[in-house]
Amino acid sequence: MDDAAAPSPDDERRTGAVPEPPLEPLERVALDVERHVAADGWDAPPRLFALVRTADAVAADPSLASRLPGDVVAEAVADPRHLTSVEQDDLPDAPDLERLLASIGWPPAVAGAALVVEQVVVPPTADLPEDPREAVAALEEHPDRQEVRIAVAVLRGGGTGSALRRRTDDEDLRVVVGEDLVPGLAAALRATLA
């Protein structure tokens, strides 16, 4: 590789551009859907996405290639694991996230699913009451509470990617990305693919 083509640390400091580390495909999907939802701001309902293998979708509908950005098509040609997210509109009404996910099922052509949801979290050491109503009240008043947006992506055959953004650090470069940051949510989402 030509050294002149790579940005130097001085270039990064001047421009503010920081190269992103390489991510696994599901981590990339989680980050992408989180950033998509972040563009609409906070205080939003859960948003759900079907994940399809881009190459399979283009093979099933060749006209799709002309509607996708060129870099997406090129990435799908280079990597058959490439995924495209398709946001699901008109989610069923449900009193809570658990029941919403229990009402979702996917056809076999869907390789996976992604979910973006906002939550309030406290440190694991927080002592919350066992009564659900009292726990919610204590959670709302807890001095160490944090509002977060969580994106989780899972595949039917296994694999998880996650992204988490704190409301107090609402910047794209501050989003935490990992394989399985929220295992309970990932398991509930994976159950929709069964």
Listed by start position, the domains of the chain span 21-191
pLDDT at 20: 57
Name the residue with higher pLDDT: 73 or 46: 46
Q: What's the whole-model pTM score?
A: 0.81
- Closest alpha carbon to 99 in 194, 190, 188: 188
Q: Residue 178 has what pLDDT? A: 92
The angle formed by the CA atoms of residues 84, 87 and 90, to the nearest 5 degrees, is 160
pLDDT confidence band for 139 (50 / 70 / 90)? confident
Two tokens at 68?
């996708």
Percentage of residues in the chain with pLDDT exceeding 90? 50
Spatial distance between the Cα atoms of 99 and 83, rounded to a whole number of angstroms: 27
pLDDT more than 70, % of the chain = 89
- Please write the tens of the pLDDT for every residue from 63-110: 888 888 878 878 877 888 889 999 999 888 888 899 999 999 999 999
Condensed to tens digits (0 to 9), the pLDDT of residues 155-194 reads 998 899 999 999 998 999 999 999 989 999 999 999 999 8
